[in-house]
Structure 1
Amino acid sequence: MSKMTYPETRRGDVAETLFGETIADPYRWLENDVREDKEVADWVARESSFTDDYLKTLPQRDWFAGRVRSLLDFERFSLPEKAGKRYFYTRNSGLLNQAQLFVREGLKGEPRLLIDPNAWAKDGATALSDWVPSHEGSFLLFSIQDGGSDWRVLHVLDVKTGKVLEDEIRWVKFSGLAWVGEEGFLYSRYPAPGEGETFQERNYNQTVYFHRLGTAQDEDTVVYRTPDHPEYNHVAQVTQDGRWAIVTSSVGTDARYEVHAIDLKAKDWTPRPVVTGFSDAWDLVEGVGNRLWFVTNEDAPRKRLVEVDLGKAEPVFSEVVPQREDILERAGIVGDRLVLNYMHDAASRAVIVGLDGKTPKELTLNGIGTASGFSGKPGDPETFYAFTSFNRPASIFRMDIRTGKSEPFAEPEMDFDPEDFLVEQRFYTSKDGTRVPMFVVRRKDVAASGKAVPTLLYGYGGFDIALTPGFSASRLAWVQAGGAYALANLRGGGEYGRAWHDAGRRENKQNVFDDFIAAGEYLKAEGITSKDGLGIQGGSNGGLLVGAVTNQRPDLFAAAVPQVGVMDMLRFDRFTAGRYWVDDYGYPDKEADFRILRSYSPYHNVRAGEDYPAILVTTADTDDRVVPGHSFKYAAAIQHADLGDKPHLIRIETRAGHGSGKPTDKVIEESADILSFLAQWTGLEVPQD
């Protein structure tokens, strides 16, 4: 094809000398907020029009739009939340832009609609985010997310009448929501941002407040803050018996916490230190009286369960369940049992033990997949959990905690047979000899044919986050079309505990890129991927991954889709939540870290003169997690450089953010654009219906 003529992008003359090196930043002006800067808004409009015109020409687009829509058109539920005798849950009948929230009076009661977010905005981009019923189920605290932003607005609903109270809380972000009796709740918020800085200002001075129902926000009481350390983050939880508020503090994205306990029965809510030092993870499981249970990686990189007794002058710690070979992801107390959720090679296992950690009983799960939930309360006879895999949408089960028997609460009805697909877990060797797991999903007939097919490889590799099997309509559409889907469990993630995470961050970040490149080479060597048929995709930190490996090995990939990526590694810490990410990436203003960041930053390492794969960058105008300036600058750089004749485009969503809260209509449109672009450049031919 002939070389594209992209919309013109002004190149500025901004340059800085950092540690003796002159760093040009000709597109610095594209960091400005699209809502505030007319030049940026004009650039976005021209790029969007150019990209839309191209995507409309792709012959596979209508097929993928129809297939993704069909795969999303099924009834799906969230895990039920029990409060008093009421059960709360969300339900999407199929193609609603946003799930609705229902309540039942008793498990077998008739569903009653409480909240319908679909009426909040014409474009469906205002979403119900978090929600928590009060202990007795009298009230429901819920948060609203608009246009995909991380900011939340809190409201309270009277469950009996269905009316929303006048209480309204603003400037909430990255917050827990915890009821104190039926009279009020704890939440975390930041100071109101400066004028014009709502979506870009760095987040400091997070504070825990108590809000009493029926009062104004400016009357809320400060419960916990650290003015001498504005960089600290604080989130509050309350034990089910209402005795303790537990404030967990962090510094960045690392699971290194301090924990303080507040006796809610005392007149003076004085925080009491439980864990100090920001050295290990401490995740609250539950509390009964003076006893608290935590999952921690202190002296246990794969985590263990401990009990803390607050009945004495100083907290007393004791081990309940020691570290196992598998990773202990989470735990819950239901009835008089502990439910432990383990991860083995990125797939789930569940074990029930007594509160003393003894008499373990393993639950049988339905093959390779991810189990979640298992929450409940001391004394409860039941818990709910979900199970999902690449070929199975989430089914919700109710488990009798005494017998361990499960029965379906909600199972989706699909227009495909899960048994038509082969889900494999394979292991391959990375550059330095490390054994890395990878899931591969294909139609069984495609796998049986032995034919190499266009393949979509996905990765993340960061922030101690594990990628586990789960259902995705867009990915299954790719597989149904005859392609293969591969998910690589790269270092930097949480699949194997602390050591696995450490091996893929800071000075070890190149290991993540090597793991991903090795995954692509393995897929080709094993005959899974066709010669020129490897497409790659990743979002956020995964967008950084895609940008970095595209620069390092442009010959390996046919198409690349970096989504909402961190593309300028020298300035990521200057916007919104970016300052937290130094735990994984390092500090751009420290020379040793700067050298590493400079070596792989996607924006700064575009290799002009080489043939690059086709690239579709995606971002959104309201992304205040990874601000869109990252993607704007990177897209301008790859369009300016001589990178061959394949298209290098940017897709910019409006009224959307980093991903959460996106309405179904936008999900379908975005999926169709991405999949048809990948299909066009990997050679995937969609079925002729």
Structure 2
Amino acid sequence: MQFRHVLLMGLFLPASAWAAAGPVTDPAPESTTPPAFLDQIEGKQALDWVRALNDHTFSVLQGDPRYKQLHDEALAIAQSHDRIPVPHVIDGQVYNFWQDATHRHGIWRRTTPASFHTAHPDWHTVIDLDALSASEHKNWVWKGADCLEPEETRCMIGLSDGGEDAVTEREFDIPAGRFVQDGFTLPTSKQNLAWENRDTLLVARDWGPGTMTASGYPFVVKRLKRGEALETAQEIERGVPADISDNPEVFVDGEGHRLTLIQRGLTFFTSSYSIVTPNGLQKLDLPPKSTPVGLVANRLAVKLDEDWQPPAGPKLPAGSLVSIDPANQNAAPMMIFSPGPRQSVESESVGATKTGLLAVVYDNVRGGAVRFTPTATGWSRSDLKLPANVAVTLIDAGPRSDDAYLGVTGFLTPNELWHVDGTDAREVKALPAQFDASNLVVEQQEATSTDGTRIPYFIVHRRDMKLDGSNPTELTAYGGFGVSNVPSYSGAIGKLWLSRGGVYVLANIRGGGEFGPAWHEAGRKTHRQRVFDDFASVGRDLIARHVTSERRLGIRGRSNGGLLMGVEFTQHPELWRAVIIGVPLLDMRHFETMAAGASWVDEYGSQSVPAEAAFLDKISPLDALRPGVKYPEPFIFTSTKDDRVGPVHARRFAWRLKQLGVPFLYYEDTEGGHSGTANLAEIAHEQALEAVYLLKRLVD
């Protein structure tokens, strides 16, 4: 989906002591239905309940003598001025959003490319979110800028009050450096927009009753002209409430060609596309599981997530990049890139430049970058020279030039920023080491899952690690939505965990995109038990190799990874001593009616399909909790402002644990949304809480 908005332990308390620490508003123990007040996201009774749990967690974790040092270390890393500014080139200038100790909400700033490449760029503040929040009595969180192309003189700025996905959009004049008086302003909504021209926006948003899908996203796209009231905007496309979301997209190439599309999200992974023409909408002939990723020389580049037999030409395999001529859909598509069995490319890792297409390609979970250039008969390929055995991220590319920026990183390789000029790439910035890695090494191992599939995983550990089962180990994975988990540098993990003798493990389980669409499909819907088995198999493999033991093994995941943690907590409580469950889905019987849950039916399945309902009921962590089982003490965290998954999943799970007398720690941040806390101080706070929890559970 093309959404813009849209990578540790307390002491055991006996049941009597925990009951005394909790609120007194819970129903009688014999009730197994979570109380209705938990569903009232910001209701007084619910927030009082949350505060009581937060206070207990803070007393246990912040009361630990190690907390202050861990917090100070995490905060120093989060607020370090040595961090690499993430660049976005707009109108020939480099823009960056920055937060530090002085700028809690953050500043949007700019400098020249020449200055940006120096050690100390000369930044000019464009928008001060702290000042804006104070003047407007809001808790503004930055959600990005959508800019008019190719001119890039006007941008729509997305601001969220507290970090939720719903945003307010305001027009900003780039040359003047200020919001446009009486310019385009879109009130708060989950919404997406595209610039049709300087004076016209295509907007999908909440237009009033009956215009939002069951998932809480818009399915009506309208054309809004400058000076026009929202209520008079012209409707140009209407989906149906069963859609996931309908959204406009505009592609511009370096030759000035412009292609305006309407994406109708039929399911989370399938869409239909229509071209906006002066005479109305014209269907674009693409397979449902495909994503347009850029326009080059009037050729539309498309990522395929299923095999496609086009009207002309040979069958094209899933995982490929191809190009089509939008003006002549009868012409055979051209192959740009066809991945091998251990290779993959993701839609978010492809970007069009003025004369070519830049793509990040992974081979056995190791990244590289390739430039593709259109020729008379197809596309030519040039591999960029980058470091080996690293992860690569496409950070910025656009149709005005062949310049682009790539991120290069690894578990022990501090983040680097590389500037691409055509086929030449060079490092322009590097993050100083944030922890001592001189005695650390990275291995890639494989575990055998229950069905015989080999599951790769990375393990980061001390060079002199003894294989005696005594090493405290944190294992993490995601395993869903075709999202790849790749190596990355984390100062917090290095400083707070690895430097204290911990082992860090990243598993590339099925459900992700590490090896293309088939790897994802293998773990979707009723096949999802493979995902859970893969993860448990990696845990057992670590124990079998004597890296760690059940006493020293902890796991962590968030969002879909939070669901993974909930399942592992209930299916294999004997394997883990620490379980961190972040912003999770845990009530899989009812997820479709919670927050944006209906949008994920294509990933998880639906209660309306008997076989899928039976599977969801079986694996739902909330429903799998049983009395008399010896569970490890988990740390659960969520956000009140999460309007994507929502905090109700975590609340219901915590309530049920308390009812069963199972000790747990719970933290609900009152801001930040699903993607994380809203400011650096809160990020450091959460990281320190997790680190204390891990040390208490796995080291003490």
What TM-score do you get using the length of structure 1 for normalisation?
Answer: 0.88
What is the 5 A alignment of 1:564-603?
Answer: 564-603=583-622
Equivalent residue, structure 2, for 1:152: 167
With 109-118 and 137-146 compared, the bigger mean Cα shift is at 109-118
Alpha-carbon distance change, 201 to 150 in structure 1, aligned in 2, over 3 angstroms: farther
Equivalent residue, structure 1, for 2:692: 676
Equivalent residue, structure 1, for 2:392: 371
Match of 1:475 among 486, 493, 517: 493
CA distance in 2, matches of 1:99, 1:75: 16
Deviation at 1:496, TM superposition (A): 1.3
Deviation at 1:214, TM superposition (A): 4.4
Q: Does 2:61 match 1:40?
A: no
Match of 2:147 among 133, 145, 156: 133
CA contact (8 A) 1:144 1:154 kept: yes
CA distance in 1, matches of 2:129, 2:414: 23
What is the 5 A alignment of 1:599-610?
Answer: 599-610=618-629
CA distance in 2, matches of 1:235, 1:452: 54
Equivalent residue, structure 2, for 1:386: 407
The residue identity in structure 1 corresponding to 2:128 is: D
Equivalent residue, structure 1, for 2:664: 648
Equivalent residue, structure 2, for 1:19: none
Deviation at 1:409, TM superposition (A): 3.5
Equivalent residue, structure 2, for 1:113: 125
The residue identity in structure 2 corresponding to 1:581 is: W
Equivalent residue, structure 1, for 2:373: 354
CA distance in 2, matches of 1:682, 1:604: 27
Match of 1:173 among 190, 195, 218: 190
Q: Does 2:481 match 1:463?
A: yes
Deviation at 1:544, TM superposition (A): 1.0
CA distance in 2, matches of 1:596, 1:391: 40
Equivalent residue, structure 1, for 2:345: 328
Alpha-carbon distance change, 343 to 39 in structure 1, aligned in 2, over 3 angstroms: same
What is the 5 A alignment of 1:23-62?
Answer: 25-35=32-42, 37-62=43-68
- Give unpaired runs (5+ residues) of structure 2: 1-11, 117-121, 308-315
Match of 1:67 among 61, 66, 73: 73
CA distance in 2, matches of 1:668, 1:207: 40
Equivalent residue, structure 1, for 2:419: 398
Q: Deviations over 1:402-437 (max 9, x none)?
A: xx3223333323444555532222211112111111
SS at match of 1:609: coil
CA distance in 1, matches of 2:524, 2:445: 24
Deviation at 1:186, TM superposition (A): 3.1
CA contact (8 A) 1:252 1:579 kept: no
What is the 5 A alignment of 1:73-92?
Answer: 73-92=80-99
Q: Deviations over 1:519-540 (max 9, x none)?
A: 1111122222245111111111
Match of 1:288 among 290, 293, 297: 297
Structure (1 or 2) with the greater strand fraction: 1
Alpha-carbon distance change, 615 to 493 in structure 1, aligned in 2, over 3 angstroms: same
SS at match of 1:271: strand
Runs of 4+ in 1 over 6 A off after TM superposition: 448-451
CA contact (8 A) 2:296 2:355 kept: no
CA contact (8 A) 2:219 2:240 kept: no
- Give unpaired runs (5+ residues) of structure 1: 16-23, 685-689
CA distance in 2, matches of 1:52, 1:473: 23
SS at match of 1:597: helix
With 116-125 and 26-35 compared, the bigger mean Cα shift is at 116-125
Equivalent residue, structure 2, for 1:21: none
Taking every aligned residue pair, what percent have the same amino acid on both sides?
A: 24
SS at match of 2:345: strand
SS at match of 1:561: strand
The residue identity in structure 2 corresponding to 1:342 is: V
Deviation at 1:322, TM superposition (A): 4.3
Deviation at 1:600, TM superposition (A): 1.1
CA distance in 2, matches of 1:564, 1:88: 30
Q: Deviations over 1:349-386 (max 9, x none)?
A: 21223214554332233233321227534572422211
CA contact (8 A) 2:637 2:667 kept: yes
Deviation at 1:2, TM superposition (A): 5.0
Match of 1:5 among 8, 18, 23: 18
Alpha-carbon distance change, 406 to 419 in structure 1, aligned in 2, over 3 angstroms: farther
Alpha-carbon distance change, 224 to 203 in structure 1, aligned in 2, over 3 angstroms: same
The number of aligned residues is 656
CA root-mean-square deviation? 2.9
With 491-500 and 79-88 compared, the bigger mean Cα shift is at 79-88
Match of 1:249 among 251, 264, 267: 264
Match of 2:179 among 131, 151, 164: 164
Deviation at 1:677, TM superposition (A): 0.8
SS at match of 2:650: helix
Alpha-carbon distance change, 25 to 213 in structure 1, aligned in 2, over 3 angstroms: farther
